[in-house]
Amino acid sequence: MSELEIIKTIEIDASPETVFKALSDPEEITQWFPDQAVLEPKVGGKMKFTFFAKDVKPLDRDFFPEGEIVEFVPNKKLSYTWIPRDIPDFPRTIVTWNLEKIGQNKTRVTVIHSGFTGKIHELYKEHSYGWDYFANRLVEYCKEK
């Protein structure tokens, strides 16, 4: 059984500190990503996001991924499991955000969503499209800070 992963790389005109806060502070996360967010900033902490289809353009249904923080390195890396409880047989996937300072006030962000296995190519495509959409929102959000 082959495993698929989604990889998106973006450059943001903001410091790694600004970007990491946008990724890890629930108050900021909801400004560009889910409608509601729980993210406990520590390894073993809980992650729970709520996306309402009426508020998020690419969604055709409400969406409720949750998981656990597996890596938390301030201003460098954030990784958590991603399991949408409302999608039967969705595999345990992992979302990893890697941040790299590439200039005075510029950060390269690579998001990797790995662990797609089995007969879930449609879900893979949906998530790939979603990461494009939200990566662009992250760029815009951090630019305004």
pLDDT of residue 47: 98
pLDDT of residue 56: 61
pLDDT of residue 57: 65
pLDDT of residue 2: 65
pLDDT of residue 115: 92
Q: Along the 145 residues of the chain, how does pLDDT read in single tens digits?
A: 568 899 999 999 999 999 999 999 999 999 999 999 999 999 999 999 999 877 666 667 788 999 999 999 999 999 999 999 888 888 889 999 999 999 889 999 999 999 988 767 778 888 999 999 999 999 999 988 7
pLDDT of residue 85: 84
Q: What is the DSSP string of the chain?
A: ---EEEEEEEEESS-HHHHHHHHH-HHHHTTTS-SEEEE-SSTT-EEEEEB-TTTSTT-SS-B-EEEEEEEEETTTEEEEEEEETTSTT---EEEEEEEEEEETTEEEEEEEEEEE-SS-HHHHHHHHHHHHHHHHHHHHHHHT-
pLDDT of residue 49: 96
pLDDT of residue 62: 84
Q: Identify the structural domains of the chain with CATH numbers, from first to last.
A: 4-143 (3.30.530.20)
